[in-house]
Amino acid sequence: MGAAPREKGMDGCIFCKMVEGEIPATKVYEDKAVLAFLDIGPISDGHTLVIPKQHCATVHECDPQVLAETSARLGRIAEAVVAATDADGYNVLSNNGAAAGQVVAHLHFHIIPRKMGDRVFTQWPSYKYKKGQMEDIAVRIRSHLK
């Protein structure tokens, strides 16, 4: 299948090189818009990455149509990963920016198959907002959505 066009300056992107066939990947799904392949550093067996073929670094920098095409395929790919690994559930996540743990600056979604008691993500670091803090943050977020 033909690769989607890359933006100028994306020649160093390892995922773009996978899309172009310049670097091998263990592909599990591919079409005109998306490539899905097994993660080389898995958290669990079947840990799969789903990427748009068109380069974009993060969710908010991605063209809405590219994001929609990628998102539209996540469910089908996740269902196949779960069936193939006999998983009890799965996580879908995307790290956006270095502070969030993004290592490759090309948008990608992790599908991580889970088994009951697998000890993956054993702790969610939640906390309680201080009084008034939640509304203050919501106001600031809403102001950026206008």
What pLDDT is stored for residue 124 in this prediction?
87
Predicted confidence (pLDDT) at residue 9 exceeds the cutoff of 80: no
Ramachandran category for residue 50: left, alpha or beta (phi over 0 → left; psi -120 to 50 → alpha): beta
Number of Cβ atoms within 10 Å of the Cβ of 113: 25
What domains does the chain contain, in order, with CATH numbers?
Answer: 14-121 (3.30.428.10)
Q: What is the DSSP letter of 121?
A: T
- pLDDT of residue 119 exceeding 70: yes
> What number of helices (H) and strands (E) belong to the chain?
3, 5
What is the full DSSP assignment across 11-28? TT-HHHHHHHTSS---EE
DSSP bridge pairs for 113:
90
* pLDDT at residue 138, rounded to an integer: 97
Angstrom distance (rounded) from CA 69 to CA 34 = 8
Tell me the pTM. 0.90
CA–CA gap between residue 77 and residue 83 (Å, rounded): 10
**Mean pLDDT estimate for the chain:** 93
Bridge-partner residues for 37, per DSSP? 27, 49
Instruction: Choose the weakest-confidence range: 4-8, 45-49, 79-83, 119-123.
Output: 4-8
Left (φ > 0), alpha (ψ -120 to 50) or beta: where does 74 sit?
A: alpha
User: Which pLDDT value is given to residue 10?
Assistant: 67
Instruction: Point out the residues that are catalytic.
Output: 108
| DSSP state, residue 125 | -
